[in-house]
Amino acid sequence: MALVLVLLPVGLVQAAPTAPGQAAIATAHPMATAAGREVLEAGGNAFDAAVAITATLAVVEPYSSGLGGGGFYLLHDAASGRDVMLDARERAPGQASRDMYLDDEGNPQPDLSVDGPLAAGIPGIPAALDHLAEEFGRLPLSTTLDPAIRAARDGFQVTEMYRRLAGFREELLADDPGSRTIFLDEGKLPALGHVIRQPDLAETLERIAIEGRDGFYQGELAGRLVDGVRKAGGIWCRSDLAGYRVVEREPVVSRFRGFEVVSAAPPSSGGVAIAQILNTYGVLERRAGELDDLSVLGLHYRVEAMRRAYRDRAEYLGDPDYVDMPLERLTSDHYAAGLAVGISPTDATRSASLAPVVTEPEGPHTTHFSVMDGEGNYVAATLSINYPFGAGVTVPGTGVLLNDEMDDFSQKPGVPNVYGLVGAEANAVQPGKRPLSSMSPTFVRSDELVGVLGTPGGSRIITMVLGGVLAATRGEPVDQWVAGPRIHHQYLPDRIEVEPGLLDADQRAELELMGHRIEVNDGFGNMQAVAWWREDGRLEAASDPRGEGQAAVFAPKAP
Ligand code: DON
């Protein structure tokens, strides 16, 4: 025995396991977690589970994501060791134009990009379901979409979260005949426990189960979508739907404290901003010798790094198929070192003193899920229809609720969007272009850890994911990543947003003395994360206590 061990390469004897054996899921709704579990237990892999979870969330969280929306999937394929970002972001319709949200005098008309059919981009989720199944999964869509079809037909119960978000959009939903019938109860906010059934959506899902992407982007359903959108005053054409494609893109990878951080590439700003913040913070950490993330100096440095990354986001970032971006420069150590030179250990920078640009705001919905299978495949996916209940319009006969993702474009340089974000030329509206996003599905990895995480939260997504990554690098358990108190700065408006409990009175006073303006906000985000600690094989999953989600770790039974 001893001889065998001597002959084996040392690395092999001590190698961490290559697969977790068990599976883990964290999603924003118990029915979506159950759908993922059902598919894994039927012999599916993490990509099949991602299909089931996406489709079920589309049914049971109509305020967050849906077939009418888009998103980004970060995928890790265990067999090839490859990481891929699947870009299923909405695209602007072919008849969209740069000034479509301005009146004759050039003034923004913010409602047009948030409410109603002009706000809707061409959806990406149905194409993503098809692509995941064809290229990565092993089960047919008829199996993986089945839990969602049942949920649409049999219904789901109205929760507190549903009531809060439907209440926020009640007027808009009441004004649209399609949405009113489905999402309200006789025109009123439904009571807790009221059952929402979506037979048209069940049929649309069935079509996709049988015909794949063509069931949505071609043929009868495409005709209904275009007719419905145009009748309501929108500008979609058949060719917009027929021409929609998901794109596989290389994720953005950065290194921090010996961890590899893999995150979303443009048209998300998430990976670039996270890389830039971590790089800058890393320089400041080395300069300080040692840095406690939650000390006043650690928080001040974090905020200053955020401020600069959001400034650059506003100026440079957009759809990579339309704009040239200095990505290598923005994510380089050299650039971070330059930014760090301008950061004082004692004084806040005023955003107005940085070279000016224009920015986007935070909307309260979108969803994220994280899933890992027993073989070591994993998916982080952030999906959205943007604002709660998107554009508020449900196309008759389809069950498809339109997104209002067009608001993520910059309507005019410097005019903030619904999340207060500003943008410039790189993110102006153009036909076929994808609006810049903050959605940041992310992996954080080392020899000891594989972490999979993400959250909704508009412009704050990036800084929340950053907080999760920092917690991971400190070795904290996954429930701390999702629950830990949050801190955010987005360059403009020039203020720090914090959750109660992060700063004590002395810390707050110290930061204010440095020149920071501080606003305490009630909780934000709904983070879902999975962690596989390779050293001892532990698998963890956690769902943000601020939401209604559910996490599960289990050994899939043999099918
Ligand atoms: O893509 C984006 O950045 C936004 N449409 C996400 C919106 C969002 O997270 C709203 N949720 N709270």
The per-residue pLDDT for range 186-219, each reduced to its tens digit, is: 999 999 999 999 999 999 999 999 999 999 999 9
- pLDDT above 90 as % of the chain: 89
**Ligand 1 site-directed mutation target among 65, 274, 362, 386, most atoms within 8 Å of CB:** 386
Check pLDDT > 80 for residue 539.
Answer: yes
What is the pLDDT, as a whole number, of residue 241?
98
Sign for the pseudo-dihedral over CA of 482, 263, 75, 435: positive
Give the model confidence (pLDDT) of 114-169 as tens digits.
Answer: 999 999 999 999 999 999 999 999 999 999 999 999 999 999 999 999 999 999 99
Helices 30-41, 146-154: inter-axial angle, 10-degree rounding: 140
* Spacing, Cα 28 to ligand 1 middle (Å): 15
Check pLDDT > 70 for residue 396.
Answer: yes
Q: Closest Cα to residue 252, out of 514, 115, 439, 17?
A: 439
Residue nearest to atom 5 of ligand 1 (CA): 386
Check pLDDT > 70 for residue 104.
Answer: yes
Question: Region 41-55: what's the mean pLDDT?
Answer: 98
Whole-angstrom distance, CA of residue 120 vs CA of residue 113: 8
Question: Region 289-297: what's the mean pLDDT?
Answer: 96
Sign for the pseudo-dihedral over CA of 186, 189, 195, 196: positive
Q: Closest Cα to residue 38, out of 53, 27, 28?
A: 53
Residue nearest to atom 6 of ligand 1 (CA): 458
Instruction: Take residue 546 and report the two structure tokens written for it.
Output: 């601020």
Residue nearest to atom 1 of ligand 1 (CA): 437
Determine which helix (DSSP H) or strand (DSSP E) holds 24, and give its type and residue range. Answer: strand 23-27
User: For residue 411, which phi and psi values (nearest 5 degrees)?
Assistant: -70, -30
Question: Region 453-479: what's the mean pLDDT?
Answer: 97
| Confidence band, pLDDT 50/70/90 cuts, at residue 365 | confident
**Ligand 1 site-directed mutation target among 310, 419, 460, most atoms within 8 Å of CB:** 419
Check pLDDT > 70 for residue 464.
Answer: yes
* Spacing, Cα 18 to ligand 1 middle (Å): 34
Cis bond upstream, residue 345 (ω within 30): no
Give every CB contact of residue 393 below 8 A, 6+ residues apart in sequence: 116, 117, 120, 176, 178, 179, 229, 232, 401, 402
HSE-CB of 233 using CA atoms within 13 angstroms: 10
* Spacing, Cα 331 to ligand 1 middle (Å): 23
Tally Cβ neighbours within 10 Å of residue 4. Answer: 8
| Confidence band, pLDDT 50/70/90 cuts, at residue 359 | very low
What is the pLDDT, as a whole number, of residue 558?
63
* Spacing, Cα 419 to ligand 1 middle (Å): 8
* Spacing, Cα 484 to ligand 1 middle (Å): 20
Tally Cβ neighbours within 10 Å of residue 345. Answer: 12
Which ligand 1 atom lies nearest to the CA of residue 460?
9
Residue nearest to atom 2 of ligand 1 (CA): 437
Residue nearest to atom 11 of ligand 1 (CA): 365
Whole-angstrom distance, CA of residue 469 vs CA of residue 488: 14
* Alpha-carbon torsion, ordered 341, 344, 345, 346, to 10 deg: 170
What is the pLDDT, as a whole number, of residue 484?
94
**Ligand 1 site-directed mutation target among 274, 403, 438, 544, most atoms within 8 Å of CB:** 438
Check pLDDT > 80 for residue 422.
Answer: no
What is the pLDDT, as a whole number, of residue 16?
59
* Spacing, Cα 366 to ligand 1 middle (Å): 6
| Confidence band, pLDDT 50/70/90 cuts, at residue 415 | confident
DSSP character for 531?
E
What is the pLDDT, as a whole number, of residue 345?
97
Question: Region 102-106: what's the mean pLDDT?
Answer: 91
What is the pLDDT, as a whole number, of residue 8?
35
Check pLDDT > 80 for residue 364.
Answer: no
Higher pLDDT among residues 36 and 363, named by residue: 36
Which ligand 1 atom lies nearest to the CA of residue 387?
10
Determine which helix (DSSP H) or strand (DSSP E) holds 88, and give its type and residue range. Answer: strand 82-88
Segments of 347-503 assigned E as strands: 367-372, 378-384, 394-395, 400-401, 442-445, 449-453, 487-488, 496-498
What is the pLDDT, as a whole number, of residue 559?
58
Question: Region 287-313: what's the mean pLDDT?
Answer: 97
Instruction: Give the CA angle between residues 42, 47, 50 to the nearest 5°.
Output: 90
Check pLDDT > 60 for residue 287.
Answer: yes
Write the DSSP string, 458-480: GGGHHHHHHHHHHHHHTT--HHH
Instruction: Take residue 209 and report the two structure tokens written for it.
Output: 């189960």
Check pLDDT > 80 for residue 363.
Answer: no
**Residue 366 is a catalytic residue:** yes
Q: Is residue 237 exposed (0-12), middle (13-18) or buried (19+ Cβ within 10 Å)?
A: middle
CA distances from 427 to 175, 410, 422, 438 (A): 31, 6, 10, 13
Whole-angstrom distance, CA of residue 16 vs CA of residue 20: 10
What is the pLDDT, as a whole number, of residue 15?
53
Query: What residues does 437 pair with on adjacent strands?
Result: 268
What is the pLDDT, as a whole number, of residue 6?
34
| Confidence band, pLDDT 50/70/90 cuts, at residue 110 | confident
Determine which helix (DSSP H) or strand (DSSP E) holds 153, and give its type and residue range. Answer: helix 146-154
* Spacing, Cα 122 to ligand 1 middle (Å): 16
| pTM for the predicted model, two decimal places | 0.94
Query: What residues does 76 pair with on adjacent strands?
Result: 83, 378
Residue nearest to atom 8 of ligand 1 (CA): 458
Q: Is residue 471 exposed (0-12), middle (13-18) or buried (19+ Cβ within 10 Å)?
A: buried
Q: What is the mean pLDDT of the chain?
A: 93
What is the pLDDT, as a whole number, of residue 7?
37
Q: Is residue 284 exposed (0-12), middle (13-18) or buried (19+ Cβ within 10 Å)?
A: buried
Within 6 A (CB) of ligand 1 lie 363-366, 384, 386, 405, 408, 437-439, 456-458, 461
What is the pLDDT, as a whole number, of residue 358?
44
Q: Closest Cα to residue 131, out of 219, 216, 19, 43?
A: 216
DSSP character for 96?
-
Check pLDDT > 90 for residue 425.
Answer: no
Residue that the structure tokens 């004759």 belong to? 104
Catalytic residue among 54, 56, 144, 366: 366
Whole-angstrom distance, CA of residue 432 vs CA of residue 243: 9
Instruction: Give the CA angle between residues 466, 318, 64 to the nearest 5°.
Output: 60
Whole-angstrom distance, CA of residue 256 vs CA of residue 75: 21
